[in-house]
Amino acid sequence: MEPRDKEELRADLARIGDGDRVVLERAFTRLHPLVRGFCGRVLGDGPLADDAAQDALVNLFAHVGAYDPERDPVPWVLAFASNACRTVRKRTSRRREVPDLPKLAAAGSPEAEVLDAELRAAVRATVASLSSNDADTLALAMGERPTGATFRKRLERAIGRFRAAWSAR
């Protein structure tokens, strides 16, 4: 950010903090690309970065009264962006959300068949890395499986170990 832009942003934030809402749109126009770019670098371009940038700007404008005009505005702004990115990461990891993956190839195409074969091979290798008891449990679960709490618990544990092995790959 150019020194002139920083000074204008500093003045705009100070005015907004004093209650002047006339410069709010101008400040937003300056801040959005900065905050969105930061969030995009931290979270990757996509909806998560958009959400984090929006959260950061909402929180920033809610706390703009605490801004000290004697300080550089960019680190103050990026602190809000950093906190928003951290919050989005925690929220997605708690919910075990997986970002939407792009479609790699059309179904039935040669590329899709190769990808499917590679995925199946990776799953077989991961299952082979588990104990024979876990591998047998997962094999049973894929077909007609027994009922009962004991089997369900064995299956839950086997799936947990499979997930850990899969993540390690």
Sorted by sequence, the CB contacts under 8 Å of residue 40 that are 6+ apart come out as: 49, 53
Q: Note whether residue 41 is domain-resident.
A: yes
Range of the domain at 128: 110-168
- Domain end, chosen from 37, 69, 94, is at 94
- Vertex 41 angle, CA 38 and 42, to 5°: 90
Q: How many domains does the chain have?
A: 2
Residue 33: per-residue pLDDT: 92
Please give the chain's pLDDT, 169 residues, in tens.
788 888 888 898 888 888 888 888 888 988 999 999 999 998 888 888 999 999 999 999 998 888 888 888 899 999 999 999 999 888 877 766 555 545 555 666 777 788 778 888 888 888 888 888 887 777 776 665 666 777 778 888 888 888 888 887 7
Sorted by sequence, the CB contacts under 8 Å of residue 142 that are 6+ apart come out as: none
CA distances from 71 to 6, 20, 44, 63, 150 (A): 10, 19, 29, 15, 63
Same domain, 115 and 61: no
Q: What is the CATH number of the domain that holds 19?
A: 1.10.1740.10
Q: Note whether residue 101 is domain-resident.
A: no
- Domain end, chosen from 52, 67, 94, is at 94
